[in-house]
A and B are shown apart, each in its own frame.
Chain A
Amino acid sequence: AQSVTQPDIHITVSEGASLELRCNYSYGATPYLFWYVQSPGQGLQLLLKYFSGDTLVQGIKGFEAEFKRSQSSFNLRKPSVHWSDAAEYFCAVGARGYNKLIFGAGTRLAVHP
């Protein structure tokens, strides 16, 4: 079955520390992968996406993610977290010609000053 797992429900980091949010997927086809961020009371904003090619992709707000096919993972990273990064982060997977995205349950990030 197709699924996305975000193992960490909540993560707390100090401002300036590095961040890695985990995402594992199970998908029968070659996946397209996405990370979205949702601030309180807001919709989802696309951070970055992977379709093909270079497995390290850069996104907005200083985020990057690396696609590792052998591990079925697409972890999100940021070298230095800012207080404004506190939000909920969703990983999603889709495929060419497949009209739905499958979303993970999300990881809520808190940032301590």
Chain B
Amino acid sequence: GAGVSQSPSNKVTEKGKDVELRCDPISGHTALYWYRQSLGQGLEFLIYFQGNSAPDKSGLPSDRFSAERTGGSVSTLTIQRTQQEDSAVYLCASSPQTDYNEQFFGPGTRLTVL
């Protein structure tokens, strides 16, 4: 079956512009995660959605970052007034409704802020 997909694969923007990154999770997966991977770094948790519950936003680095998940499926991560330090690969993952939290990752969106 289809895996997690993300779009765009690459995004170049100018400092101060807003960007939207999209994630399509695996069909039937109830949990969705966003991570940020800066150059040479590990994965930094940003936000987590589980079903209809309130999202866990504890990893969002500033109020310029927000995310929504519509209809329990597609998610959009929005970064407002982008800064150069926002340049990174943004990874999305989804997980089925189990206790084991096995996450399946998309290919990522590489964001470059000039």
Contacts and interface: CB of A to CB of B under 8 A. Distances in A.
Interface of A: 32, 34, 36, 41-46, 49, 51, 90, 94-101, 103-106
B62 interface: no
B65 interface: no
A107 to B, nearest CB: 10
Contact of B4 (A43, A94, A106): A43
B101 A101 contact: yes
Interface residues of B, number: 23
B23 to A, nearest CB: 11
Given A43-B91, A90-B43, A106-B42, A101 B99 contact: no
A22 to B, nearest CB: 15
A100 B107 contact: no
A5 to B, nearest CB: 11
A25 B50 CA distance: 26
A90 B4 contact: no
Contact of B101 (A32, A36, A42): A32
Contacts of B25: none
Interface in B71-95: 91, 93
A98 B101 contact: yes
Contacts of B102: 34, 46, 49
26 contacts: A32-B100, A34-B102, A41-B107, A42-B107, A42-B108, A43-B4, A43-B107, A44-B91, A44-B93, A46-B103, A49-B102, A51-B100, A90-B43, A94-B101, A96-B100, A97-B99, A99-B50, A99-B56, A99-B101, A100-B33, A100-B45, A100-B48, A101-B45, A103-B42, A103-B43, A104-B42
